[in-house]
Amino acid sequence: MTAGSPLADIDGKARRSRPYRLAGPSWIIPVLLFLGFFFVIPLGANILRSLQSGQATTNGPLFYYVKLLTDAYYGGVIVETLKVAAISTVLCLIVGYPVAYFMVRFAGRWNAVIVFLLIAPLLTSIIMRTFGWRVLLARRGLLTTQLFEWGLIPRPLNLADEPFAVYLGLVHVLAPFMILSITAVLQKVDVRLEESARVLGASALGTFFRITLPLSLDGIATGCILVFVVTCGSFLTMLLLGGGKITTLSLLIYQQFNVTQDVGFAAAMGNTLLFIGLICLALQARFLRRTGVKS
Amino acid sequence: MTGMRAMRASPESVIGGFSIELPSVTRERCTLTTAVPLQLVGISKSFGSVQALRPMTQTIEGGEMLALLGPSGCGKTTTLRIIAGFETPDRGSVVIGTRDVTELPPNKRGLGMVFQSYSLFPHMTVGENVAFGLKMQGVSAAERTTRVREMLALVRLAQHEDRQIHQLSGGQQQRIALARALVTNPSTLLLDEPLGALDKNLRERMQFELREIQQRLGITSILVTHDQEEALTMSHRVAVMSEGQVVQVGRPTDIYERPRNRFVAEFLGTANIVGGTVTGQTSERCWQVALTGEPGASTSVQSDVPLAAGSAILLAVRPERIEIGPVVAGTMRAQVQDVVFRGSYFAYELRAPGQDVPFFVHSQSRKDIPPDGMVGLGWRPDNAIILEDTP
């Protein structure tokens, strides 16, 4: 039998089945290299720094961590960090869910416009955006002046430099993350599921709590994790709008680097913050696996 | 009690190769169910400048299955959504039994509904899906379990109570959707293209099965479909809709045999349309009609109402009612363009002199076609349907 005869394949070895792929696994090598140099190595260096620099060289490698977790002040800051993140997450959820629901169910062709309006604030620099809030909220700012003129407040207040301003600034920036996470999942919830529930006797509110909300939990979880982790890491809003009334871990890191210049302690704080973030992601992964809707 | 025993004497019926067994409790409830009529009184609906539904008045008798049949955009879905309460009609009212439900939200209307996509809740098991309506009614957990099991037995999925929805096949999901719609004992069952997502074989079996269950329970039903075969198979009466209004309502055979106009004739199966002019009466109910486009050719038609000589009329003839034969002077003739074997019949495509559109003839046997392809076409006078449209 000559080589290349079509019959050769019948007697010969079966062809190795190879699934069709657009690209091979080797295509991710550039990304891996990039992340290796600019993420993994600095991260490792940071961990070493927290264990081996400054007072850690004399007082044992875990000195900074012990100080961070046992000292009442620093423990309080960690708790405050988690508290601020939790509150801003809940606020974003309360503000964001109705917007997401409206976008998916009613916006129709205006959807693209709303998405643009949501993303637009993210296009401006965070400093400009934050100072913008100061202009509105400060003692001689637009908002308080107007409220004073209407007689709603006895004298112009300084609403900037208050926790209120911090949460306002955080929700302003982070609500889009929540909204877009929820819309992505809500879009997959067929409106006819809600209609089925209605015909079966569920009230509008009952339908929401029994059908819509359970089916959009994935989006809520994703949005909450995003907002929580980003709040944990953000410090400019706290710095510029908090007036020193809110001290979070990220703000402390900034101070350690720039004011105290205790690099080892700052590194330990950074790693602690990273660890909190990782715990959140692990919780999310676990939650999604449990409630994930298989369809 | 004797009545119930008599019913138990025939525990199952075989339809389409399926045996459908009704559990005893369901049968008892069947006998208690009083079928409720549904009335649509002049309902109409516009979306912006588009009139989706022109004023429509229709009574669906208790226990009857009415099909709303028409192409997409004809208003059939709007009608169903008005009945369900998802849309409010601009005018008119929906009356179930003696109760005007026009202003009631969907959850207060006591309806059952099956959607094309089944719309089963993906985060609940089969049993939880079926129990949902009962839970909303505040039925106790113990009674819920009993009634859910009965219903699952009715749709022959008793073993699937604890399954997840995604573990079921399309046909099974369809049956669960039906069970979920029926378990609350609704006054009216709404079916929105219920078999549209199934493949052809399964769809045909389910048509019989659904019809059987509907008739057993004697529940007033409205079926929305664009599939003429589904409408003809499943329903007692068919309402053909076009451009927001009902064109013709009648029993399936009437609609098919006596379509009122060109739209109905062409939407339900194939129809050959030919124009003509009445030339005179030949016998008591027969008139002679000269066919348009071919001088000298004529046919005779049957009519219960007198036809004025000289008036122009439009005729529809079903492909299976036309006979192909040798050319006879004075009758219609046409040239064979193509023959297709369709399994149970041969489909002939012909072109008649003076006609713009091809003629279709379905024949049980293969005909001898002369070399020039010219054949004569004939039909019985009562098979030529006079349409209301003017040519």
- Mark yes or no for CB contact B115/A200 under 8 Å: no
Number of domains in chain A: 1
- Mark yes or no for CB contact B132/A197 under 8 Å: yes
Tell me the chain A residues in contact with residue B106 when contact means C-beta distances shorter than 8 Å. 195, 198-199
Tell me the chain B residues in contact with residue A201 when contact means C-beta distances shorter than 8 Å. 107, 133, 136-137, 184
Per-residue pLDDT averaged across A198-217, rounded? 93
Residue A289: predicted pLDDT: 65
pLDDT, one tens digit per residue, over B93-112 is 999 988 999 999 999 999 99
Q: A203 CA to chain B: closest CA distance, Å?
A: 6
Residue A10: predicted pLDDT: 55
User: Residue B1 pLDDT > 60, yes or no?
Assistant: no
B180 CB near a chain A CB, below 8 Å?
A: yes
Rounded CA gap, B388 and B274, in Å? Answer: 13
Rounded CA gap, B94 and B80, in Å? Answer: 11
Q: Residue A12: which pLDDT band, with cuts at 50, 70 and 90?
A: low
Per-residue pLDDT averaged across B212-230, rounded? 91
Residue B73: predicted pLDDT: 87
Q: Residue B284: which pLDDT band, with cuts at 50, 70 and 90?
A: confident
B117 CB near a chain A CB, below 8 Å?
A: yes
Give every CB contact of residue B75 below 8 A, 6+ residues apart in sequence.
Answer: B45, B52, B53, B54, B56, B241, B243, B244, B245
Partner-chain residue, chosen from B86, B133, B166, that has the shortest CB–CB distance to A200 = B133
Q: Residue B247: which pLDDT band, with cuts at 50, 70 and 90?
A: very high
B184 CB near a chain A CB, below 8 Å?
A: yes
Tell me the chain A residues in contact with residue B123 when contact means C-beta distances shorter than 8 Å. 214-215, 291, 293
Rounded CA gap, A240 and A169, in Å? Answer: 10
Percent of chain A residues past pLDDT 90, beyond the cut: 34
Q: Residue A210: which pLDDT band, with cuts at 50, 70 and 90?
A: very high
- Mark yes or no for CB contact A195/B106 under 8 Å: yes
What is the chain B residue with the closest CA to A295?
A: B166
pLDDT, one tens digit per residue, over A228-250 is 999 988 888 888 888 888 888 88
B5 CB near a chain A CB, below 8 Å?
A: no
What residue ranges in B16-88 does DSSP mark as E strands?
18-21, 38-47, 50-60, 65-69
Asked, for residue A160, whether it belongs to a domain, the answer is: no
Q: Residue A41: which pLDDT band, with cuts at 50, 70 and 90?
A: very high
Q: Could you tell me which of B180, B200, B190, B174 has the C-alpha nearest to residue B117? A: B174
A61 CB near a chain B CB, below 8 Å?
A: no
Per-residue pLDDT averaged across B33-58, rounded? 89
Distances in Å between the alpha carbon of A53 and those of A42, A70, B273, B281, B370?
15, 20, 96, 116, 105
The CATH number of residue A105's host domain is 1.10.3720.10
User: Residue B10 pLDDT > 60, yes or no?
Assistant: no
User: Residue B310 pLDDT > 90, yes or no?
Assistant: no
pLDDT, one tens digit per residue, over B182-202 is 999 999 999 999 888 788 888
Asked, for residue A119, whether it belongs to a domain, the answer is: yes
Most confident by average pLDDT, A81-90, A135-144, A236-245: A81-90
User: Residue B299 pLDDT > 50, yes or no?
Assistant: yes
Rounded CA gap, B247 and B249, in Å? Answer: 7
Q: Residue A162: which pLDDT band, with cuts at 50, 70 and 90?
A: confident
Residue B5: predicted pLDDT: 38
B164 CB near a chain A CB, below 8 Å?
A: yes
Q: A130 CA to chain B: closest CA distance, Å?
A: 42
Tell me the chain A residues in contact with residue B180 when contact means C-beta distances shorter than 8 Å. 196, 200
User: Residue A164 pLDDT > 60, yes or no?
Assistant: yes
pLDDT, one tens digit per residue, over B113-148 is 999 888 999 999 999 999 999 999 999 999 999 999
Partner-chain residue, chosen from A198, A199, A211, that has the shortest CB–CB distance to B121 = A211
Tell me the chain A residues in contact with residue B136 when contact means C-beta distances shorter than 8 Å. 197, 200-202, 206
* Global ipTM: 0.78
Residue B330: predicted pLDDT: 83
3-state DSSP call for residue B65?
strand
Tell me the chain A residues in contact with residue B166 when contact means C-beta distances shorter than 8 Å. 294-295
Per-residue pLDDT averaged across B342-355, rounded? 88
Rounded CA gap, A74 and A266, in Å? Answer: 12
Longest dimension (CA), chain A: 103
Q: Residue A295: which pLDDT band, with cuts at 50, 70 and 90?
A: very low
Residue A262: predicted pLDDT: 85
Please tell me what DSSP assigns to residue B363.
E
Asked, for residue A279, whether it belongs to a domain, the answer is: yes
Q: Which residues of B272-303 are buried (b: 16+ CB within 10 A; e: fewer)?
A: bbbbbbbeeeeeeeebbbbbbebeebbbbbbb
Domains and CATH numbers, chain B: 2-259 (3.40.50.300), 270-387 (2.40.50.140)
Residue A142: predicted pLDDT: 82
User: Residue B363 pLDDT > 70, yes or no?
Assistant: yes
Partner-chain residue, chosen from A199, A214, A215, that has the shortest CB–CB distance to B106 = A199
- Mark yes or no for CB contact B112/A215 under 8 Å: no
3-state DSSP call for residue B237?
strand
Who has greater pLDDT, A281 or B123?
Answer: B123
CA end-to-end span of chain A, whole Å? 52
Per-residue pLDDT averaged across B338-365, rounded? 89
Tell me the chain B residues in contact with residue A206 when contact means C-beta distances shorter than 8 Å. 136
Q: A142 CA to chain B: closest CA distance, Å?
A: 42
User: Residue A14 pLDDT > 70, yes or no?
Assistant: no
Q: Which residues of A122-134 are buried (b: 16+ CB within 10 A; e: fewer)?
A: eeeeeeebbeebb
Contact A57, A278 (CB under 8 A): no
Asked, for residue A108, whether it belongs to a domain, the answer is: yes
- Mark yes or no for CB contact B86/A192 under 8 Å: no
Residue showing tokens 């049980």: B364
Residue B391: predicted pLDDT: 65
Rounded CA gap, B357 and B334, in Å? Answer: 12
Percent of chain B residues past pLDDT 70, beyond the cut: 91
Per-residue pLDDT averaged across B12-27, rounded? 41
Q: Mutation target for A interface from B86, B107, B173: give the one with most A CBs within 10 A.
A: B107
Percent of chain B residues past pLDDT 90, beyond the cut: 48
Q: Which of A133-137, A172-176, B174-178, B387-391 shows the lowest per-residue confidence on average (mean pLDDT)? A: B387-391
Asked, for residue A154, whether it belongs to a domain, the answer is: no
Asked, for residue A75, whether it belongs to a domain, the answer is: yes
Contact B154, B213 (CB under 8 A): yes
Asked, for residue A27, whether it belongs to a domain, the answer is: no
Contact B41, B98 (CB under 8 A): no
- Mark yes or no for CB contact A294/B107 under 8 Å: no
Domain range for A277: 43-127+168-291
Rounded CA gap, A148 and A132, in Å? Answer: 20
Long-range contacts of B277-280 (CB under 8 A, 24+ apart): B277/B310, B277/B311, B277/B312, B277/B313, B278/B307, B278/B308, B278/B309, B278/B310, B278/B311, B278/B313, B279/B309, B279/B310, B280/B309
Total CB pairs under 8 A between chain A and B = 70
Query: Is the pTM value of this prediction over 0.80?
Result: no
